Amino acid sequence: MIQDIESALNGRLGKKDIDKVVEWTSHNPSNREKLLKLAFCDNVNVNSNALWCMTHLQKSNSQWLQSLQDFFIDSLLNEKVTSRKRMLLQLLRTLDYPAEDIRVDFLDFCMSKINSETEPYAIRCFSLYLAIKMCRHYPDLLSELKERISLLSREPLSPGLRCAIRKVQKEIQLLSKHPHDKAFEQKW
């Protein structure tokens, strides 16, 4: 049982520590809100560890995380720290993006990161996964995404980015054959 969450998040965390925090938050809305507040506090150790723990909440707290989608997007668009950008993208990757709720600023962010050689591979991969989740609703956007992917073939890629490209290309191919069939929607 966690007595002082802020102290628990101030040190190094291992898998068991993260599991304890996830358990602490899973069935208690008040604890989830505390964790969210700590993920955006001024203490760098605490906020990074809290956000890292939040990336493990997805299955048990999906509705709560979905309700925070705009907040996470706003936070990402203003974030300067690369590791926090990566964790926010990881959180956002687990959420749903219905056609009527696509944020253009977020889609532009993701599309711009895919081909940015100055971004770490993880940010480029997560941006690619998120772009397909948003572009899947619109053929014109799918075409633009395909073009961005084709530009990637001109540069050396990490195995992780190559894997992400293959998965997204497979999804695009399925969407081309079955554009309105929900059964072909990938869960990334």
User: What is the model's pLDDT at position 176?
Assistant: 82
Tell me the helix, strand and coil percentages in the chain, rounded to 5: 70, 0, 30
d(CA 64, CA 35): 12
Q: CB of 133 within 8 A of CB of 188?
A: yes
| Nearest by Cα to 24 from 68, 63, 66, 54 | 54
Helices (H) and strands (E) counted in the chain, each on its own, are: 11, 0
Say if residue 58's pLDDT is above 50.
yes
User: What is the model's pLDDT at position 154?
Assistant: 83
User: Rounded to whole angstroms, what are the CA distances from 162 to 75, 91, 122, 167?
Assistant: 28, 21, 12, 9
pTM over 0.75: yes
User: What is the model's pLDDT at position 135?
Assistant: 96
| Nearest by Cα to 144 from 124, 115, 170, 119 | 115
| Nearest by Cα to 101 from 140, 137, 57, 58 | 137
Say if residue 111's pLDDT is above 70.
yes
Backbone angles phi, psi at 59, to 5 degrees: -65, -45
What is the rounded radius of gyration, in angstroms, for the C-alpha atoms of the chain? 18
Q: For residue range 6-33, list pLDDT tens digits in order.
A: 999 999 999 999 999 999 998 889 999 9
Q: What is the mean pLDDT of the chain?
A: 91
d(CA 87, CA 84): 5
d(CA 77, CA 155): 26
CA 78 to chain centre: 15
Place 182 in a pLDDT band, splitting at 50, 70 and 90: low
Looking at residue 187, its amino acid is: K
Instruction: Please give the residue that has the higher pLDDT: either 4 or 105.
Output: 105
Say if residue 183's pLDDT is above 50.
no
Say if residue 62's pLDDT is above 50.
yes
Place 1 in a pLDDT band, splitting at 50, 70 and 90: low
